[in-house]
């Protein structure tokens, strides 16, 4: 039996959807080529070797001792927005062969999305007005999302749902969206990290590199009203790293650099290296319309151009360590043991909750 709805109610429903539709459309994209692959993490262990290998994109100032000032002053970037000297990184993906050796899976490209998804805390606020813009990530912000030690999955935890994977399938097959690492043939694996969008308004970093940030209290991990403890909504930072897995046939043996075969330990790091905070703030209103970055007034343009994603070398050469770039290696760098989990897969659960709009953003 069909239910009826009055015209007034229908109009009210459509009006209520406008802010959400606007939220889906209000974004700009930073597309990046690889920068370096090395066992470094200037956020977690500055000046030292990190416990596992990362693949890094962005500003050429990346180094174990990189400061916020170094990032902004980088000589260049591998990303297509020349004002963005930020660094973004995730754990390197490997494939373990039957003989036990580890083959590095090449990271082909990456995309970073800046979205207008979060809003400031206010008493009794139940939703966001997406005709208003969140604040740009503050100058000097550093943050980490995810947990390298996680080997199980809790669908009710925003922090865990914010990490995910997509198996890009061949021959027009529908892509597989899941929380863990795929266990089937994929042309590419897309590793995805959605950073928390709510800031405490004071600290640019914290002891654990996480507690100064939070996910929304109302909504979902990727959209909504910020909590009172972290009242400032900033642009949501969401990135995708594309690993080229087309040649891999034994697809049950993927492992991240920290020894994680589940994929639940996926994590991401971000150092804000934008060189012009004012232009970054204006980008959400000037580079996100129907013409995107091609808009005449887009604030991200320098001399009429935004930039080009190009491979570059870091200004500080990578430490002399065999991380698998020249062929299979006997052990994961850092001697990380391979670990597994009996936690069930959650493809359906993750996809049911996701609000990443999956049309192509790469032209925006």
C-alpha torsion 235→264→52→87, nearest 10 = -10
| Pairing assessment for the beta strands 118-119 and 107-115 based on DSSP bridges | unpaired
Kindly state the average pLDDT of the residues 60-65: 99
Kindly state the average pLDDT of the residues 314-325: 98
CA–CA distance, 142 with 86 (Å, rounded to integer): 10
Residue 101 backbone zone (phi > 0: left; psi -120 to 50: alpha; other: beta)? beta
Q: What is the pLDDT of residue 12?
A: 43
Distances (CA, A) of 264 to 25, 197, 258: 29, 21, 11
Kindly state the average pLDDT of the residues 75-87: 99
Asked if 275 and 85 count as a contact pair (C-beta separation under 8 A), the reply is yes
Q: For the sheet containing 218-220, what is the strand order? A: 118-119, 223-225, 218-220
Backbone angles phi, psi at 235, to 5 degrees: -55, 135
Q: What is the pLDDT of residue 340?
A: 76
Three-class secondary structure assignment of 228-249: CCCCEEECEEEEEEEEECCCCC
Per DSSP, the three-state class of 15 is: helix
Which pLDDT band, with edges at 50, 70 and 90, does 357 fall under? very low
pLDDT at 17 over 70: no
208-230, pLDDT tens digit by residue? 999 999 999 999 999 999 999 99
CA–CA distance, 119 with 62 (Å, rounded to integer): 31
Structure token pair of residue 260: 């994680």
Query: Which among 339, 345, 353 is positioned nearest to 148, based on CA atoms?
Result: 339
Residues with Cβ < 8 Å from 153, sequence gap 6 or more? Answer: 160, 179, 180, 262, 264, 343, 346
Its pTM stands at 0.89
Q: What is the pLDDT of residue 342?
A: 52
Residue 65: CB atoms within 10 Å = 12
pLDDT at 11 over 80: no
Q: How deeply is 170 buried, as exposed, middle or buried, from its count of CB atoms within 10 A (0-12, 13-18, 19+)?
A: exposed
Structure token pair of residue 41: 């993490």
Let me know the angle formed at the C-alpha of 45 by 328 and 154, rounded to the nearest 5 degrees: 75
CA–CA distance, 176 with 231 (Å, rounded to integer): 35
Query: Which among 5, 27, 30, 53 is positioned nearest to 308, based on CA atoms?
Result: 30
The alpha carbons of the chain give a radius of gyration, in whole angstroms, of 20
Which pLDDT band, with edges at 50, 70 and 90, does 22 fall under? very low
The answer to which of 171-180, 254-263, 268-277 has the lowest mean pLDDT is 171-180
Per DSSP, the three-state class of 48 is: coil
Q: What is the pLDDT of residue 9?
A: 45
pLDDT at 173 over 70: yes
Q: Which residue has the tokens 């034994």?
A: 250
């Amino acid at each position: 039996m069909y239910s009826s709805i009055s015209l007034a109610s229908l109009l009210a429903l459509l009006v209520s959807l406008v802010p959400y539709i606007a939220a889906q459309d209000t974004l700009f994209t930073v597309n990046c080529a690889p920068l370096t692959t090395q066992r470094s993490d200037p956020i977690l262990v500055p000046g030292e070797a990190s416990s596992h290998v990362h693949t890094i994109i962005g500003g050429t100032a990346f180094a174990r001792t990189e400061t916020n000032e170094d990032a902004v002053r980088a000589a260049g970037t591998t990303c297509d927005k020349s004002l963005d000297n930020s660094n973004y990184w995730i754990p390197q993906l490997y494939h373990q062969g039957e003989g036990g050796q580890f083959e590095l899976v090449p990271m082909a490209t990456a995309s970073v999305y800046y979205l207008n998804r979060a809003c400031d805390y206010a008493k009794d606020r139940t939703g966001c007005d997406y005709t208003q813009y969140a604040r740009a990530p503050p100058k000097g912000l550093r943050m980490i999302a995810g947990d390298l030690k996680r080997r199980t999955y809790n669908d009710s935890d925003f922090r865990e749902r914010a990490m995910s994977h997509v198996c890009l399938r061949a021959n027009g097959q529908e892509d597989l969206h899941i929380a863990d690492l795929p266990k089937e043939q994929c042309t590419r694996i897309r590793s995805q990290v959605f950073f928390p969008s709510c800031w405490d308004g004071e600290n640019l970093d914290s002891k654990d590199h996480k507690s100064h940030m939070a996910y929304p209290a109302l909504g979902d991990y990727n959209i909504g009203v910020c909590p009172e403890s972290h009242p400032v909504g900033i642009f949501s930072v969401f990135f995708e790293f594309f690993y080229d897995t087309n040649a891999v046939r034994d697809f049950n043996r993927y492992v991240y650099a920290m020894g994680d075969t589940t994929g639940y330990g996926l994590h991401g790091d971000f150092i804000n290296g934008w060189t012009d905070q004012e232009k970054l703030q204006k980008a959400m209103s000037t580079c996100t319309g129907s013409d995107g970055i091609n808009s005449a007034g887009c604030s991200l343009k320098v001399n009429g151009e935004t930039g080009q994603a190009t491979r570059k070398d870091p200004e500080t050469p990578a430490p002399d360590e065999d991380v698998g770039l020249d062929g299979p290696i006997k052990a994961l760098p850092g001697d990380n043991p391979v670990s597994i989990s009996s936690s069930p897969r959650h493809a359906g659960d993750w996809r049911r909750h996701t609000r990443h709009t999956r049309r192509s953003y790469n032209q925006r």
